[in-house]
Amino acid sequence: MKKISLTVLAVLMLTGTSFAISITQDNNVTTLANTILGSGITASNISYAGAAIASGTFTDGLSSGIGIESGVVLTSGNVNLIDNFNDSDNATGANGLTGDADLNALVSPYTTYDATVLEFDFTTTTGDLFFNYVFGSEEYNEYTNTQFNDVFAFFLDGINIALIPGTTTPVSVNNVNGGNPLGTDASHPEFYNNNDLTDGGPFYNFEYDGFTDVFTASAIGLAAGTHHIKLAIADSGDSILDSGVFIQEGSFSGTVTPVPEPATLILLGSGLAGLAIARKKMS
């Protein structure tokens, strides 16, 4: 009876708190920019380069487990593949597009493909810039530490500010992961969340096999005047297996936007832990 109770409790907690992320495909530059813009920021000269299916907006991110409720998602493939419980290790939207020269420099000697780029000029009334984001990929875990090092960057006046917290290292598959095999030769695993089907997953209600914690890109004490931001993502090494970056709604701001610690995520984690305990007891 005790084993059954634990299992039922876990299932109830999972089904009661976990819902798939909801994605709306959209490459309208005004929609994408306005969704992420927050207080103290004015944008102009907005442009988009990439496939129409590679970008969009999202909601229900907290209940799916990624740590951000809503915002914009830019991918190296197809946004329509993201919003389901992870049922594939190789979700791919190969768009037949070239990569990006700035991203190539980050993954040299490899080449990028299927780049998606949103960029615009902006001014900030505070002299500062902050925004919150999560990076996820289908390259995890089986292609970690290989040439298939899918990458993204936030180039502020030409300098990448999408960095691992406390470092000057860019965020990418090879730089934040749980290792390959999982637990072996990991890089910054404290910031990594495993969702891989072949490594015990899925644990979260969206497609990507792994993703980072919520990070904050920031720049303090910007000079007065207009600045330029380039938000870019691409496949590396080949054009298959998608990656995406999720940018929090309203967080591209002159002040810090808090990231909530929702009760739903705590319950989801508790439910998964309960299910794992029940399985151990039954085995």
Residue by residue, DSSP assigns 20-34 as: --EEEE---HHHHHH
Between 69 and 259, the higher pLDDT residue: 69
- 262 has pLDDT over 80: no
Residue 43 identity: A
- Residue 204: the pLDDT is 94
- 250 has pLDDT over 70: yes
Condensed to tens digits (0 to 9), the pLDDT of residues 173-212 reads 999 999 999 999 999 999 999 999 999 989 999 899 999 9
Least confident of 36-40, 155-159, 257-261: 257-261
Using the CB atoms, write b or e for 180-204: b if 16+ within 10 Å.
bebeeebbbeebbbbbbeebebbbb
CA distance 283 to 277: 10
E strand map for the chain = 22-25, 41-49, 55-59, 71-75, 112-124, 129-137, 151-156, 159-160, 192-194, 210-212, 215-219, 227-236, 243-248
- Residue 144: the pLDDT is 95
pTM of the model: 0.86
Least confident of 65-79, 208-222, 251-265: 251-265
The predicted model gives 207-226 an average pLDDT of 96
Give the list of residues 6+ apart from residue 108 with CB closer than 8 angstroms, or none: none
Between 19 and 131, the higher pLDDT residue: 131
Residue 122: pLDDT band by 50, 70, 90 thresholds? very high
CA distances from 121 to 43, 171, 211, 218 (A): 6, 23, 29, 16
- Residue 238: the pLDDT is 83
- Residue 89: the pLDDT is 66
Condensed to tens digits (0 to 9), the pLDDT of residues 9-57 reads 343 334 445 578 999 999 999 999 999 999 999 999 999 999 999 999 9
